[in-house]
Structure 1
Amino acid sequence: MTRGRLILIEGLDRTGKTTQSNILLDKLKPNATLIKFPDRSTEIGQLIDKYLTDRSFVLPDQAVHLLFSANRWEVAQSIRELLLAGKHVVLDRYVYSGIAYSAAKGVAGMDRNWCLQPDKGLLKPDLTIFLTNANVCENQSRQGFGDERYEVSEFQQEVKKQFYKVFEDLEKNKIP
């Protein structure tokens, strides 16, 4: 049996990742599964959901980053099993979001290299598609923008810069 493909759709908030992930899933069905990160159905995912939607719920930035990574590890074995069973897995966000969003905070000691460490060993995507708007301010006009903690235009601009740096690191093989 041929291993399935791990296809990642990354991008800034409200750029169409979920829409494109669902379109791709429909094209690949019945031999595909969609997994969204954070996976809010798990216990760690529920804690992340509270953090993202309740601005009064405060956690240290390092702990938040590690929770997002732990959420990916919670699902890692399921992803591996699906791929080995020949199913394609479409991911709506993954490791690169974790690195870009955390590094964009500008917290001392939380550079891209630090942010990568807890995710080392997770499966690397076979294909990564990055979605963005030419102007981050366009995202504000999307329904629901601003409902979650990181949906702030100035922050999204910094996240975009970090994504580009992550992809540069990938090209230079700085990210295994």
Structure 2
Amino acid sequence: MTRGKLILIEGLDRTGKSTQSEKIVKELGDEVVLFKFPERSTPIGGLINQYLTDRSFDLPPQSIHLLFSANRWEVNAKIRSLLESGKHVVLDRYVYSGVAYSAAKQIPGMDISWCLNPDKGLVKPDLTLFLSNQDSSSLQDRDGYGEERYEKAAFQKKVRETFFQVFDAIPDDNVVIVDVTGKSIEQVFDTIMPLVRKVLGNNSEDYLYF
């Protein structure tokens, strides 16, 4: 049996990642499973959710970074099992977000290399689509923006810069930057879906790892 493919949708907060992930899943139907990170239904995910939504709940930046990584490892076996069974898996955020958001804090000792280390051994996606929106004002106009800890314009700008530093630091030919600035949901979907279908048609059985 040909293994399933791992498709990742990345980007800043409120750039349409969840919308596009859900549209891909709807388009492909039963052959694909969606995971959103952080996976807040797990024990570790519950702590992360509290950290993101309750500003009085504070943790050292190193600790929260390791929790985000542990959250990815919590569901790693399930993702691998699905891929081995022939199911495709779509991820809404993954390792790149974890590294970029932590490294963007510019904490001494928490450089990109340090931030990546806990994720080494996780499967790399067969395709990573980074949704890039250069119009920060459009993000702030979205309903609910600013409710969670990292949804601040100045920090999001740092995260965007750090994402590209991460892509430079982690060699990955399967990363595609998709400019979504000023584009409708359907226009973005029409851009990314052919890329997804191309990868799904690849019969490679080999995995790549972070």
Q: TM-score, normalised by structure 1?
A: 0.96
What is aligned with 1:143?
143
Cα distance per residue 1:51-77 (max 9 Å; x no partner): 000001000000000000000000000
Say if 2:45 is the partner of 1:40.
no
What is aligned with 2:3?
3
What is aligned with 1:88?
88
SS in structure 2 opposite 1:171?
coil
Runs of 4+ in structure 1 over 6 Å off: none
Number of aligned residue pairs: 175
Deviation of 1:172 after TM superposition, in Å, equals: 7.5
Q: Percentage identity across aligned positions?
A: 62
The separation in 1 between residues aligned to 2:132 and 2:40, in whole angstroms, is 23
SS in structure 1 opposite 2:128?
strand
What is aligned with 1:117?
117
Cα distance per residue 1:6-39 (max 9 Å; x no partner): 0000000000000000011111211000000000
What is aligned with 1:105?
105
The separation in 2 between residues aligned to 1:114 and 1:138, in whole angstroms, is 33
**Alignment CA distance shift 1:146-1:46 (3 Å):** same
The separation in 2 between residues aligned to 1:140 and 1:58, in whole angstroms, is 24
Say if 2:182 is the partner of 1:168.
no
The separation in 1 between residues aligned to 2:64 and 2:138, in whole angstroms, is 27
What is aligned with 2:60?
60
What is aligned with 1:70?
70
Higher Cα Rg: structure 1 or 2?
2
CA root-mean-square deviation: 1.3
Deviation of 1:171 after TM superposition, in Å, equals: 3.4
The separation in 2 between residues aligned to 1:170 and 1:59, in whole angstroms, is 27
Gaps of 5+ in 2: 174-208
Q: TM-score, normalised by structure 2?
A: 0.81
Cα distance per residue 1:107-137 (max 9 Å; x no partner): 0000000000000000100000001211223
Gaps of 5+ in 1: none
The separation in 1 between residues aligned to 2:117 and 2:152, in whole angstroms, is 26
What is aligned with 1:132?
132
